[in-house]
Amino acid sequence: MYKNRSVLKLKFSTFEKVIEIIVIINLILELLLFIRYWPYLPNKVPIHYSLSGNPDSWSSKETLFLIPIVSILLYFMFSYINRFPHIFNYIPEITEENAERQYRNARTLMTCLKGEIIFMFLFILYKDIFIALGKFKELGIGSIAILLIIIFVTIVYFIIKSIKLR
């Protein structure tokens, strides 16, 4: 249980800082994309896609507000949770000797996931807008599959690293 674990105040690594900057840039791009194309969007925009990537459900353009809102909420949620790596679940037992290594690894995983998920939201917003405008016909299900594979590979990489850092 995490109640017996050391609570360490860890500085962010250069890598984590770079990822944070990229994530903030993605959030800004998402907001700018939304604001830039809002006046040109038709009243109906795609909100769901078939397995082949074709839009199969449409809604009012106001629905697109959810994508930047959810992205911003996820950003703050991940950022807040990242302040408490001692409460995360770990495969190896956390000891005084390995706590710092494990906390850094877990926090870097969470930072990477935050970046990947927010990038995926930016990509989906981009595709939704341009499908609504008639510039694209489909989501490009292969692209979403690649993004999900990247998330999966990231998780596996950091789990393996955690085991090695015992």
- Average pLDDT in the chain: 93
Evaluate if residue 1 carries a pLDDT over 70.
no
Question: What's at 78, amino acid-wise?
Answer: F
The domain tally of the chain equals 1
Which residues, in sequence order, are bridge partners of residue 46?
58
Identify the pLDDT of residue 3: 67
Please, how many CA atoms are within 13 Å of residue 14, restricted to the half-sphere of its CB?
A: 0
Identify the pLDDT of residue 137: 85
Among 8-12, 20-24, 42-46, the least confident range: 8-12
pLDDT in tens, 79-118: 999 999 999 999 999 999 999 999 999 999 999 999 999 9
Identify the pLDDT of residue 27: 98
CA angle 139, 141, 146 (to 5 degrees): 120
- What distance in Å separates the CA atoms of residue 17 and residue 75, rounded to the nearest whole number? 14
CA angle 155, 121, 112 (to 5 degrees): 30
pLDDT in tens, 132-163: 999 988 877 788 889 999 999 999 999 999 99
Q: Say if residues 139 and 127 touch (Cβ distance below 8 Å).
A: yes
Identify the pLDDT of residue 80: 97
Q: How is residue 38 annotated by DSSP? A: G
Closest C-alpha among 165, 13, 10 to residue 94: 165
Model pTM?
Answer: 0.90
Range of 37's domain? 2-164
